[in-house]
């Protein structure tokens, strides 16, 4: 029971952190889009491509975990991948 509570708490924490960190990227991108400029189109294309790639990666991770019979279906791994991408976007957009 404690293990289940611990893993659920970790997942909630990871999800909350992802939501907070994602808001930074959303704010930075909206500011960039609103200011215009030559690189707005490429930023929009990058955003869509990243979302498609992350969705595919998440699907692969979840299917692999399901086929291997892992508990939690690898959600912690998926959240970790998303947080890495968001962190990279914060660093890139801040530069």
pLDDT at 2 over 80: no
pLDDT band at 3; cut points 50, 70, 90: low
Instruction: Give the residue with greater pLDDT, 88 vs 77.
Output: 88
Please give the residue range of the domain that contains residue 85: 2-94
How many domains is the chain partitioned into structurally? 1
Task: Report the distance separating Cα 65 and Cα 29, nearest Å.
Answer: 33
Instruction: Give the residue with greater pLDDT, 84 vs 10.
Output: 84
The residue assigned the tokens 């279906």 is: 73
Residue-wise pLDDT tens digits, 26-78: 999 999 999 998 899 999 999 999 999 999 999 998 888 888 887 666 788 88
- Yes or no: say if 68 and 86 are a contact pair by the CB < 8 Å rule: no
Q: What's this model's pTM, rounded to 2 decimal places?
A: 0.81
Res 6: pLDDT: 72
């Amino acid at each position: 029971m404690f293990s289940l509570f611990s893993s659920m708490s970790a997942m909630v924490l990871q999800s909350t952190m992802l939501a907070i960190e994602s808001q930074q990227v959303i704010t930075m991108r909206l500011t960039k889009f609103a200011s215009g400029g030559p690189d707005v189109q490429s930023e929009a294309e990058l955003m869509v491509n990243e979302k498609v790639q992350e969705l595919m990666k998440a699907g692969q991770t979840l299917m692999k975990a399901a086929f291997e019979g892992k508990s939690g279906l690898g959600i912690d791994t998926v959240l970790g991948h998303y947080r890495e991408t968001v962190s990279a976007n914060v660093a890139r957009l801040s530069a």
